[in-house]
Amino acid sequence: MGKIGSDYKKINLADWNRKEHFSVYRSQMKCGFSLTTKINITNLLPFIKENGYKFYPVMIYLITRAVNNHEAFKMAMKDGELIVWDYVNPIYTVLHPEAETFSALSTVYDADFAAFMANYNRVAERHADDLRFFPETPPENHFNISAIPWINFDSFNLHIADFTDYFAPSFTIGKYQQQADEILMPIAIQVHHAVCDGIHVAKLIATLEAYCKDIGTVLKSQV
């Protein structure tokens, strides 16, 4: 399915129900918003361990699949027009422990889990010793994922100095912890208000939670 370049459709602003909201938050009152919540991954962890997967790439896949199911998170400006990518690829940070720096890598999205993992592993192997921030040119159709696996945070805010017309969302995941009978993982989401409202974030979180709860079924389905 996936490829670095992607097709897209143009949004007809004249007929769009968010035309006024888009105009206000893009030009008159430029703003984004962030939200931090905790995702229940109680069912996900045993599945990962039983199958010998690594946690981070599985989460990257699940977040990417959720993002690609919601148009509000795939919007961008292209040639002066608002568009929705057919799909977007994740740009994610990978730590270099000895240098204590990281690189931003990207894996071509594929709804098929095995294909996505194969793509991820090829990228990881190709750039294992590359300390550059961007070892490869990032795809135009992208969004962002990072991880702070050492901290179980309750709130996280990514401050972007100037995000004019930059509509790609950013996700940050933290250290998961057990609370009572559940294992919860913090996740922070930063979005541009011109294209995304609270209801859109809520729907995406619900999708991601459903994926984590019923992981076996999700990975069998490529929809």
Residues 72-81 have a mean pLDDT of 96
Condensed to tens digits (0 to 9), the pLDDT of residues 162-206 reads 888 999 999 999 999 999 999 999 999 999 999 999 999 999 999
CA angle 174, 176, 182 (to 5 degrees): 145
pLDDT for res 4: 44
Condensed to tens digits (0 to 9), the pLDDT of residues 82-125 reads 999 999 999 999 999 999 999 999 999 999 999 999 999 999 99
Query: Of 127, 159, 193, 200, which is the active-site residue?
Result: 193
Judging by beta carbons within 10 Å of its beta carbon (0-12, 13-18, 19+), is residue 143 exposed, middle or buried? Answer: buried
Q: Is the pLDDT of residue 158 over 90?
A: no
Multiple choice CATH, 8-220, 3.30.420.40, 3.30.750.80, 3.30.559.10, 3.40.50.2300? 3.30.559.10
Task: Label residue 2 by pLDDT band (50, 70, 90).
Answer: very low
Residues 56-69 have a mean pLDDT of 97
Q: According to DSSP H, which parts of the chain are helical? A: 19-23, 44-51, 55-67, 113-126, 198-213, 215-220
Q: Is 159 a catalytic residue?
A: no
pLDDT for res 160: 81
